[in-house]
Structure formats: structure tokens, C-alpha cells
Amino acid sequence: MEQALEGVFDTVVARNPGEAEFHQAVREVLESLGPVVRKHPEYLEAKVIERICEPERQIIFRVPWVDDKGEVQVNRGFRVEFNSALGPFKGGLRFHPSVYLGIIKFLGFEQIFKNSLTGLPIGGGKGGSDFDPHGRSEGEIMRFCQSFMTELYRHLGEYTDVPAGDIGVGGREIGYMFGQYKRITNRYESGVLTGKGLTWGGSLVRKEATGYGTVVFANEMLKSHGESMEGKTVTVSGSGNVAIYAVEKVHQLGGKVIGFSDSSGYVVDEAGVDLELLKQIKEVERGRVADYVARRDSAHLGRDGGIWDVPTDVALPCATQNELHGDHALTLIKNGVRVVAEGANMPTTPEGVSAFQEAGVLFGPAKAANAGGVATSALEMQQNAGRDAWDFEYTEQRLTEIMVGIHETVAETSEEYGMPGDYVAGANIAGFVKVADAMKAFGIV
């Protein structure tokens, strides 16, 4: 890392103790910016990098609610409004017991650059709670969401901050939160939340967008080397929304997904994953991978190791942060992986990223490869602002154009700064420069 940037990083660590994921996300970006600050010393002089590492606003609040037994429960809510240089804060809400301030800050920091890469006018933010929706009744989830929004609503607005969903927050939770926002404000402000239901302001393709976009980006990486997804074998970690629609897009492009996972284990299906069965088990029944194996003769549960032990051409980590370690990367490389595209946020550890890059594996970082979700959220905002609704084909076309454009921008930027084929550097630099230039234009704010 450039010496001047080492000092910035040391300050970030000292100011934000115990937030390992946030430190990791900041280091990963700063390690790419040496060529930028050498070419543009004005960014250092204006302390743009120090400012971009400090959230504009951090909101932490109590979320009390009553469970079905009549007992009072207390969770903690978060919203980190990180950077609004390009537009209103934009980023999802995560409900999961692992959530704490460091997770939200890492996600919000990544969101700044991801949103910049889309080319759309949205800033970066993130939020959530340590509430665990698993095993909770509909009534409990509704009461929690209403209590959560009773505090958060005062910080939101279609020109201020526009949340969406993330892990643990789908259309059901967005519905309960939007209902409470509308109740409190007495405004039908459709553009204040994205990921809404299709009959009340939502966008077609939003559900599919992150998974679709990840695969489109992976396909663009292959095309840059004269290949395509056609005929490739693919493994996907996870089996939630991102993973399911990554599977769907791989199939549409002629590839074959042969493995997926959840927190209980992983499945190998050499005949190719039965997408409709996977959707039925995960989206309707909310079942586990063992339920898929029980109803699919060609599938079996992985007996040793994990999903990254399965030989494959393309690997798509779509579960959660830091799930793909250095030893997993070495196993994938030994087994002939050609492309890795991140569908989750920062799913590959720094050791894993280094291993892939040193081996010449095409590696698409999350802030570029999984930007399709937030891009389609911004398209939902456009439809809400125009009191309009677009059809599936047009919205998917817009999504595809955005993902192809991100790949082109990242590839050209890595070339411009003397690191051809380095998608990590290209994404970090391209995302940063656009935000930094806007921050400089606004003065010291």
C-alpha cells in the first residue's frame, strides 16, 4: 500500500476498533489507489480519502417488540449513511444475528463504489438489525418490522436515503416496513424503499437482478477471452435469492450448475440442478438442501469438505462474507476453475483473492459483479418517480446493459492504470474516482 494511504488506514483502524470486516473492506480499496493518488495528488490534499472512509452519519437505535408469548424482546437497529456524493444513500437492510456496526459499515463502504460503478445517481449506505427472522411467526416479524421502522422512518426519504432488502429481508419484510412508513408519514412515497411487491410499486426483475447480473458479468469476463458460459460447469454457494437466480441465468446462457449449498451442507447434482425443484424447496417450503436430495435421484449430499471442493469451470460465491478462504481457492485452482464472480458481498478472503489472481483465474469482485441488484433498485426508483411500470424484457435489457457497461468500465480502468485484467483494481479505482471528483466539487462538506 502507498505510504500516504497506510497512514489513512491506520487512522481508520484506530477510530473503528474491533470492526474487522470494515477494516478488511477499507484495506482492499486503499491497496488499489496508489496509482490514483500518484496521478491525482489533489485527492490527498483535499483529504478526500479520509472523508470517504468516514460515514456521513451513523444511526444506532433500540428496537423493542413483543413476541407471541407476550414477552418483550429488544434488538438493536443500525443505519449507516456512508456517502451521498452521487445521490441519496442507497443500500439494503440485513436482519441476521451476526449483524453489528462493523458488518454494516463494511457493507455500506462497499456500497459506495458498487453504486458508483452502476453509473446511476445513488450514494452508498447500509442498515439492519441483529434480529433473526428464522423460526419467527408472521406476527412476530410484522411487529419487529413495524418497531424497526418507527425509529428508522425519520431518517429516510426518496431524496435522502432509500433502503432495500438484504439477508433476512425480502418482500414480506419490505411490505411490513413500507406499511409502517406510510402509516406514520401519511404519504405514499413509493421511492423510499425498493424491493417492493409488484402490485404496489415494485419492479420486475428486482428479485432476479443480483443473480442475473453476477452471471452476466462472469459471461463478459469469459467473452473477453473468446469464450462464453455455454457448456461450462458451475458451482454456486448458497441457495437463497442470489444463488437461485444465478442458477437460472447460467442455464439460460447454456451452462450447467452442478452444485449449491446452504448452512446445513452442500449438494452435488452432476445431471444439472433442477431449478424448479430448488425454487419449490427454498422459496415455497423454506426447506434445506437435504430436502432437494430426497426428491432428486441424480443428487447427493457432499460427504466431505464443502462446495468449493467440487471441480468446476466457474465458481459463484453467493452466500455471505468471507466464505471462500485461501485453501478453498487453492483447491478450486487445482481442480481447474477458470472464473470466479462474487454474488455475495466480499465472500472471498484476501488470501483467496491473491491466490486466484496469482493463478491467472478471472476474478470478478463483488462491487462490480453483484451490482445488478442495486442497479435494478435504482431502476425501480426511476419507475416510481415517473409513476410508471416497465415490462420484464425492457427491465432485464436495462440490467444487462448496465452490467456489460460495468465490465467495460472496470476493464478499461485496469488498462489505463497499468494493471490489465485486474478487475479488483479496476473496480476500486473506477468506483472511487467518480465519487472523489463529486466530493471535490462540493467543497469541504
Q: Name the binding residues for substrate.
A: 90, 111, 114, 165, 377
- Show Cβ contacts of residue 305 under 8 Å, excluding neighbours closer than 6 positions: 331
Q: Which of 39, 47, 126, 182 is flagged as catalytic?
A: 126
376, 399 Cβ separation under 8 angstroms: yes
Let me know if 126 is a catalytic residue.
Answer: yes
Cα(23)–Cα(266) distance, integer angstroms: 30
Residue ranges of the annotated binding site are 90, 111, 114, 165, 210, 241, 377
- Show Cβ contacts of residue 60 under 8 Å, excluding neighbours closer than 6 positions: 76, 77, 78, 101
123, 88 Cβ separation under 8 angstroms: yes
Cα(56)–Cα(79) distance, integer angstroms: 11
Residues marked active site are found at 126
